[in-house]
């Protein structure tokens, strides 16, 4: 591995430091090199390259906004014997605490960024001579992403859709339930789903949803801070409904109340927010069931029942 890293990073010196990190999906290690510190994530799964390329594209999209700090990606490399490694900037981190409010504001700004780009585009469109003829808009008008991203190790289809409920139904909920059916053939899950799916459109009645660039997996293990400010990492980005982001953030603890207070000071809760949050939590419970097994069956079915009341 070290010989491969020396060649890919074009460095003579390569010294591992700190403790190796073992996450739920991949392993990581930090190294000092001739040009500074790097962090290397390794995964031996057959789909590791696809996972890391999606993460790299996500980091690039987030960093391009200039609104919240994330590691700079370097490259994805194939490993002898299978799997891949993702090389990125090393950032010294500690658990999010004192900067939770600042992160809440930054995530809200990230979610509003595409809307503001759209408003600017429309303003320029109505001003003669402000924009080059034939220029393409720089904002996303649909929901999706330009490449596959993985939430955990499960690939997510991000084909562009004009309608958010249709995108979320087909490419998030139904995709997860298809995996549940394949691996568990859980009759109760399918029965509840058949009742629930017809009610989903009602949760979005009268709601105008502008595509927002999302981190896509914003749980407490994917955020941190250092002396320079908040940091987010391990994204699975796409353009979606901003409320989707808050479901995983509000599950399993780890985010101080100050995060949500600061976020909602910029993006207030829309009517029906709490029920839609349950719907978005359902996706995350399904995703956890597919990753970690039957211990997540009960909260998944419980969330379905809540939504049917």
pLDDT of residue 226: 96
Is 217 catalytic? The answer is yes
- Could you identify the residue written with the tokens 């500074």? 36
User: How far is residue 31's CA from residue 36's CA, in Å, rounded to a whole number?
Assistant: 8
Kindly tell me the burial class for residue 249, based on how many C-beta atoms sit within 10 Å of its own C-beta (0-12, 13-18, 19 or more). Answer: buried
Q: Catalogue the E-assigned strands of 196-299.
A: 212-214, 223-226, 229-232, 238-240
Could you give phi then psi for residue 58, rounded to 5 degrees? -65, -45
Exactly one of 202, 217, 227, 234 is catalytic; name it: 217
Q: What is the pLDDT along the chain (309 residues), one digit of tens a residue?
A: 889 999 999 999 999 998 777 677 899 999 999 999 999 999 999 999 999 999 999 999 999 999 999 999 999 999 999 999 999 999 999 999 999 999 999 999 999 999 999 999 888 877 755 555 555 558 999 999 999 999 999 999 999 999 999 999 999 999 999 999 999 999 999 999 999 999 999 999 999 999 999 999 999 999 999 999 999 999 999 999 999 999 999 998 889 999 999 999 999 999 999 999 999 999 999 999 999 999 999 999 999 999 999
Give Dmax (Cα) for the chain: 63
Could you give phi then psi for residue 90, rounded to 5 degrees? -90, 130
Is residue 81 within 8 Å of residue 178, measured between CB atoms?
A: no
pLDDT of residue 136: 57
pLDDT of residue 126: 75
Torsion angle of alpha carbons 86, 92, 93, 98, nearest 10°? -140
**Among the listed residues 243, 235, 210, the one whose alpha carbon sits nearest the alpha carbon of residue 116:** 210
Quote the distance between the C-alpha of residue 106 and its chain's center: 15
How far apart, in Å, are the Cα atoms of 284 and each of 71, 97, 279? 24, 24, 9
pLDDT of residue 124: 82
pLDDT of residue 40: 97
Q: What is the pLDDT of residues 27-67, one digit of tens each?
A: 999 999 999 999 999 999 999 999 999 999 999 999 999 99
Average pLDDT in the chain: 94
Q: Can you read off the two tokens belonging to residue 298?
A: 């009960």
The span from the first CA to the last CA of the chain, in angstroms, equals: 54
pLDDT of residue 39: 97
User: How far is residue 272's CA from residue 285's CA, in Å, rounded to a whole number?
Assistant: 20
């Amino acid at each position: 591995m070290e010989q491969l890293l020396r060649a890919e990073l074009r460095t003579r010196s390569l010294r591992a430091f700190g403790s190796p990190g073992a996450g739920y999906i991949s392993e990581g290690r930090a190294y000092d090199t001739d040009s500074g510190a790097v962090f290397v994530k390794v995964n031996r799964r057959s789909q590791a390259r696809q996972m890391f390329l999606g993460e790299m594209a996500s980091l690039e999209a987030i960093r391009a906004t200039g609104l919240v700090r994330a590691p700079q990606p370097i490259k994805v490399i194939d490993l002898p014997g299978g799997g891949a490694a993702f090389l990125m900037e090393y950032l010294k981190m500690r658990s999010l605490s004192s900067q939770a409010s600042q992160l809440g504001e930054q995530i809200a700004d990230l979610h509003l960024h595409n809307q503001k780009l759209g408003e600017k585009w429309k303003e320029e469109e109505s001003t003669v001579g402000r924009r080059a003829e034939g220029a393409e808009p720089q904002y996303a008008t649909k929901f999706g992403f330009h490449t596959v991203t993985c939430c955990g190790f499960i690939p997510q289809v991000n084909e562009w859709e004009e309608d958010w409920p249709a995108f979320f139904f087909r490419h998030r909920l139904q995709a997860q339930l298809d995996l549940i059916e394949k691996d568990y053939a859980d009759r109760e899950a399918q029965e509840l789903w058949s009742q629930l799916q017809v009610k989903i459109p009602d949760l979005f009645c009268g709601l105008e949803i502008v595509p927002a660039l999302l981190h896509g997996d914003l749980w407490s293990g994917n955020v941190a801070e250092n002396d320079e400010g908040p940091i987010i990492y391990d994204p699975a980005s796409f353009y979606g409904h901003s409320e989707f982001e808050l479901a995983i953030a509000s599950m399993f603890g780890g985010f101080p109340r100050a995060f949500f207070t600061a976020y909602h000071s910029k993006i207030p809760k829309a009517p029906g927010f709490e029920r839609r949050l349950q719907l978005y939590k359902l996706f995350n419970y399904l995703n956890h069931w597919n990753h970690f097994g039957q211990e997540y069956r009960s909260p998944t079915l419980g969330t379905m029942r809540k939504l049917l009341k």
